[in-house]
Structure 1
């Protein structure tokens, strides 16, 4: 059994990615400056990224393992993992990112890949937001409004997938 086969055996009913780092093996460029007053974060430069991810990803796992970096799963593996139990693909993936987050390009690429496989993957960017834009956002600020919008989208998506009102 290949690694992709093992991943594919675990069907994904729904996936919500709030600025997910989908390929931690990739060097990520430093992002543009954030707007004045922003409480968002920019991901760290590569040397610090390396220290960070190696603190979390321990042997026997490797950074280029598809179990750790889902962007590295083959198309067949992704298609099988997102296959609904009844044999039909349905809306299952929601990606929410800040437009100034430096992992946004790899998230967009994965969402596009899923759609090319017939999986209804929704991708939404939040203007003027960096990585973890929701973490320090305060009520009444523009980031607070985007945080509320992102969380509401995630809740509505999960309600629709799980048919909860």
Structure 2
């Protein structure tokens, strides 16, 4: 798509920028840390494609977004949650633990564990993840992606007792 804000080619789970039709957009993405060494992060590339600002080897829109998904070893639920957070005005990043994203808001940093509706997990896993997030100075939040692609967020604090 000539005139796209960002033009690029897939490179691993990212997009090598080959042209920037809107330098303001590229500069902003670089300032936010989404572009490093000329490569746009895969999750952000997905968002930019859905938003219509990325042309990927002639593909645009959802076609480009799905090409990014196929190139990445990241579950689709992570892309859906990332898209939801970006649409809500947040600036998520990949989390330090598998299956998580991080979102800074003011002085707080939220660690978002992404689960899918019907996915099996244990209370022990959730409690340990929550304790680890808190120990790292993050607020634990669980994102549940339902079968329609809607995302619901829950605060996830582990407690020692209910009394």
Q: Normalising TM by the smaller chain, what interval?
A: under 0.3
TM-score normalised by L of structure 1: 0.25
TM-score normalised by L of structure 2: 0.25
Larger RCO (CA within 8 A; separation ≥ 6): 1
